[in-house]
Amino acid sequence: VDTCPPCSSGSVDLSPAAFSAISDLDIGRIKINWVYV
């Protein structure tokens, strides 16, 4: 189950490994554009 109580609707909750492929883990949150495919 994907749970992220402080996240807004439409947010994507990533594992640390997936997030580190995009950005520095110390940042915590970043703005991205995404779509379902």
DSSP string for 1-37:
----TTSPTT-----HHHHHTTS-GGG----------
- pTM exceeding the 0.85 threshold for the entire prediction: no
Count of structural domains within the chain: 1
**Tell me, what's the pLDDT at 16?**
92
pLDDT, one tens digit per residue, over 3-32 is 677 888 888 888 899 999 999 999 988 998
Give the Cβ contact number of residue 11 at 10 Å.
13
Could you tell me the residue range of the domain that residue 4 belongs to?
1-31
Please give the radius of gyration of the chain, using alpha carbons only, rounded to the nearest integer. 10
* Residue 22 dihedral angles phi and psi, to the nearest 5°: -105, -40
Q: In this structure, is residue 12 part of a structural domain?
A: yes
Query: Does residue 23 lie within any of the structural domains?
Result: yes
User: Given this model, what pLDDT does residue 2 score?
Assistant: 60
